[in-house]
Structure 1
Amino acid sequence: MNSVHANQPLLRVQDLGKSFGGVKAVDGISFDLYAGELLALIGPNGAGKSTTFNMVNGQLKANQGSIRLAGTELIGLKPREIWRLGVGRTFQIAETFASLTVVENVQMALLSHDDRLFSMWRRAADHERDKALDLLDQVGMKAQADRPCSELAYGDVKRVELAIAMANDPKLLLMDEPTAGMAPRERNELMALTKELVLGRGMAVLFTEHSMDVVFAYADRSIVLARGRLIAEGKPAEIRDHPKVQEVYFGSGKTFEKIAQQSADLKAQVNAAVGATA
């Protein structure tokens, strides 16, 4: 356990299982996630990553096991109930309202969090604009607050989605393929921003990711699934050098060495760019 973490995990998953017919998509996996930590959930196609992710979020109900957030059991709760307990989520394909402005998208999330609906007496555009602008400032999008989302570059849309996901002040943020469809520099900038928010807010992030350069550069730890089972858990260097992980990704004779170097180079470039503009 990392010494910077509290003794108790924020998220504790124990003996989690899900079957579809006679097929075990997830087979008795267990892991912990601590506040202030980014945990990558990785594995080859068909490993059970999405099934696990969707059980934590409440979109799928587990057949066995337990998912506890700060001691509260999540299995059996609906996604909205889980969201209200302080679990945010971003999606592989960014979900924003293209016809609304950037700030209005965040205000919609704040309305939902406050359990307010549109009415003839109060316009959504009047609702907590200052708070919405503060969230946009945290993701570097305040200057574009009044632009329609339809005009934004994809990388900026992902930043807006991140602000939306933080509207409920989450303890835990679930990020499903957060860098999908992004160029290498964009995805590293997004994950560097996420890392900054995690440290500043003391929240935890569980994310799925296919880009291993992102995993090696930004995950504090990774858990690796294959055929529904957890086959490895550890820090980036431990996962990179794990023979069984290399085998399920590549077969024999290949390693992550080249990808690890790419991740280090890109992370250094992002850090240098941030330092130059600070």
Structure 2
Amino acid sequence: MSLLTVKGLGKSFGGVKAVDGIDFSVGPGELLALIGPNGAGKSTTFNMVNGQILADRGSIELAGQELIGMRPREIWRLGVGRTFQIAETFESLTVCENVQMALISADRQLYSFFKRASRHARDRALALLDLVGMLDQADRSSSELAYADVKRVELAIALANSPRLLLMDEPTAGMAPGERNALMALTKQLVTDQGIAVLFTEHSMDVVFAYADRIIVLARGRLIAEGTPAQIRDNPKVQEVYFGTGKTFEKLQSSKEGSA
């Protein structure tokens, strides 16, 4: 059963079709990777789902409810969380207070400088930090965090509205290989435990092939392939259009066989 269903989605900028009539879906408990070369339409697609860009045509439905025309805040309140390529926190606040700020929004409370964020739903914020392995740093200033830990805090913030769908834009950008695997393994566990649907873009192919349940590939705004990691790895069109010679896939296959 699909949670997010995209049909005939299109967006043009001037005479350029950035996204040209694509269809895809993602279900609860599934990680769907959206990949493609630069200029393929990944970011445009991602931002249309999130409401930051208005689609010219097509449909984006969340559990049967049309999202096109809604603002990002309205989509957030329907249970769609998001992380960004460059993660940021409020450095003047503690780790816990950053999550509490997200909970203030999720609970539709008004933030006031006369009412400190630290007074709102601290127990829930701590529970979210525990989920992402940051409980022991809850009262630490966010300005002191390593970047990999900022990414974990951002994930806790994205979970503040108990999302049904999580959009992750380049979740491992700027992270070392070990940090990338740790974050994606954590995400995979959350998806399994809570039944969250995840749509993510990613340039690190090792992450995509290790953690995605399915992959969709865009090129010049069109969907050229969809399938399991194994199917995408062996797809001649994807190798030609996305990777040229296919050497990246050969390297991934060798790494997989070597670790078996």
> Among residues 171, 177, 185, which one is paired with 1:178 in the alignment?
171
Asked whether 1:64 is paired with 2:67, we answer no
CA RMSD of aligned residues (A): 1.5
**Residue pairs, 1:39-54, within 5 angstroms:** 39-54=32-47
Q: Which amino acid aligns with 2:174?
A: G
CA contact (8 A) 1:44 1:226 kept: yes
Q: Which amino acid aligns with 1:133?
A: L
* Pair 1:177–1:120, CA change in 2 (3 A): closer
Q: Distance in 2 between matches of 1:102 and 1:265?
A: 40
Q: Distance in 2 between matches of 1:74 and 1:95?
A: 26
CA contact (8 A) 1:216 1:260 kept: no
Asked whether 1:226 is paired with 2:222, we answer no
Q: Distance in 1 between matches of 2:258 and 2:108?
A: 45
Superimposed CA distance per residue, residues 42-100 of structure 1 (whole angstroms, 9 cap, x where no aligned partner): 00000000000000000001001000000000000000000000000000000211121
Corresponding residue for 2:109? 116
Shifted more, 73-82 versus 256-265: the winner is 256-265
- TM-score, L = length of structure 2: 0.96
Listed as ranges, the gaps of 5+ residues in structure 2 are none
Asked whether 1:103 is paired with 2:126, we answer no
* Pair 1:196–1:24, CA change in 2 (3 A): same
- TM-score, L = length of structure 1: 0.90
Q: Distance in 1 between matches of 2:92 and 2:76?
A: 25
Superimposed CA distance per residue, residues 104-153 of structure 1 (whole angstroms, 9 cap, x where no aligned partner): 00000000111112336632111000000000000000000000111111
Q: Which amino acid aligns with 1:259?
A: L
* Pair 1:99–1:254, CA change in 2 (3 A): same
Secondary structure class of the residue paired with 1:45:
coil
Q: Distance in 2 between matches of 1:136 and 1:87?
A: 19
**Residue pairs, 1:114-263, within 5 angstroms:** 114-119=107-112, 122-252=115-245, 254-262=247-255
% same residue: 76
CA contact (8 A) 1:37 1:198 kept: yes
Aligned length: 260
Q: Distance in 1 between matches of 2:104 and 2:45?
A: 29
Asked whether 1:11 is paired with 2:4, we answer yes
* Pair 1:97–1:260, CA change in 2 (3 A): farther
Q: Distance in 2 between matches of 1:201 and 1:222?
A: 21
* Pair 1:75–1:264, CA change in 2 (3 A): farther
How far has the Cα of 1:14 moved from its partner? 0.2
